[in-house]
Structure 1
Amino acid sequence: MRQLLIEYKRSLREARKMLKTIDSKLDPSLIDKEDKGLINNIISDLEYAIEWLKSGRNPDARRGIDKNGVYLTDPGVLDILPVQVVYKELSKELPSFERELIEDALCTLSDREKDVFMMIKVEGLTFDNTADLLGVKKSTVQTHLERAEKKINERKIGSLFLVS
């Protein structure tokens, strides 16, 4: 891998030299202009590949799914977190009526709002961790949580389950 990185850097230097020679021409021909475009593309691709080789991840991926911490987390670990186990045990202990109330309140939420609500309120994750896992900004997580809580409160007020 190190040898490949060295070769890419060498190729990048050569491509930049070729670009300089074309730029130094006072009256470039049509072929020179086409070559300049190709060389710029080569330089861009080489810089991209070098960055990928250096960091070990896709340089263009700016979302949470490709953050460094994701590579350190085994997805199987998420299934055995104590908070989730406690939630699963609590849901088994709830009477069916209360479970139906919860499901009724959660059915009004969008998938993203439900994910955010469950991650923060049930699993106890922070806004930052939730934002990283979902690949959004912290403020977006806060907005989704506020909307979810508002919808749940509205559902509590207007739910047919609560009418006696």
Structure 2
Amino acid sequence: MQDLLKEYKETRRQLKWAYEARRESEKVLDNQAITERQLLSEMIGDVEYVIEWLETGRRPGNRRGIERQAAYQRERLMDPVRMQAFAARSTAGSPANLTEWQLHQIEDALCVLSERERECYVLSHGECFTHSQIADMLGITKSSVDTHIKRAQQKISERVMSSLFLVG
């Protein structure tokens, strides 16, 4: 990792040198020279972004890392791959195939949802449709889809905490 960081810093030094050389040698600014300097400037910015990421261990510009996010931002109610396999009901040789026990667990978690909440939740998390696509398919507003999915997540979260069937 340290070797990679050294290489990025060396690349940044060379890019800055090339940028300064272009700036000093160009007395007459033509479109190609301006384009080259802009390109070098963008490359320097990209390299500095990566260097900051490597040095701090988190994405530049984030106010806090994943380890400090609120619980609702970290929480995953179900494994997305399992939910997609449940929605697809696939029996092909995929590693995402579910056992009978896993199918029963998902069914138990989804049994507390109303029909509309279940539709929205499965379309969103199982079929990976956007909220606006779901709204178009079901003939409701996007805010209704947001509300249904939020309620479904809350109900599933409560069900996971209280059901012995979902443990393990």
TM-score normalised according to structure 2 size: 0.44
Larger radius of gyration: 1
Structure number having the greater helix percentage = 1
TM-score normalised according to structure 1 size: 0.45
